[in-house]
């Protein structure tokens, strides 16, 4: 049986610096731009060595835009590199709870 993911009630990008998601189960996900960029699971990022997928490597990352992908994910465009290949599943983002 598939894992049931709570619905996101609010998804907010704050000044390009942070992502905050409030979930229907009361959980909250908060990630900085660098954390989110390092979390990218696209094929290009997954091919890179682990030391190139760290928050420190992406310390200048900012969230330029965010778009819903159906009812299951979000895609982002990041500065300064323009990276936009990743699709961030709600299931994965829900696991990164901060409160």
Q: What is the pLDDT of residues 18-31, one digit of tens each?
A: 999 999 999 999 99
The whole-number pLDDT of residue 5 equals: 84
Mean pLDDT to the nearest integer, 54-72: 96
- Contact predicate 20/14, CB 8 Å: yes
Give all domains of the chain, ordered by start, each with its CATH number: 8-95 (3.30.2020.30)
Q: How many angstroms separate the Cα of 38 from the Cα of each of 42, 44, 67?
A: 11, 12, 18
Question: pTM (2 decimals)?
Answer: 0.90
């Amino acid at each position: 049986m598939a894992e049931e993911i709570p619905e996101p009630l609010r998804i907010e990008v704050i000044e390009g610096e942070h992502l905050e998601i409030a979930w229907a189960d009361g959980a909250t996900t908060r990630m900085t731009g660098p954390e989110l960029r390092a979390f990218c699971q696209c094929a290009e990022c997954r091919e890179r060595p682990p030391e190139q997928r760290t928050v420190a490597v992406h310390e200048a990352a900012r969230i330029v835009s965010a778009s819903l992908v159906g009812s299951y994910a979000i895609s982002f465009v990041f500065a300064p590199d323009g990276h936009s290949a990743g699709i961030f599943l709600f299931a994965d983002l829900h696991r990164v709870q901060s409160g």
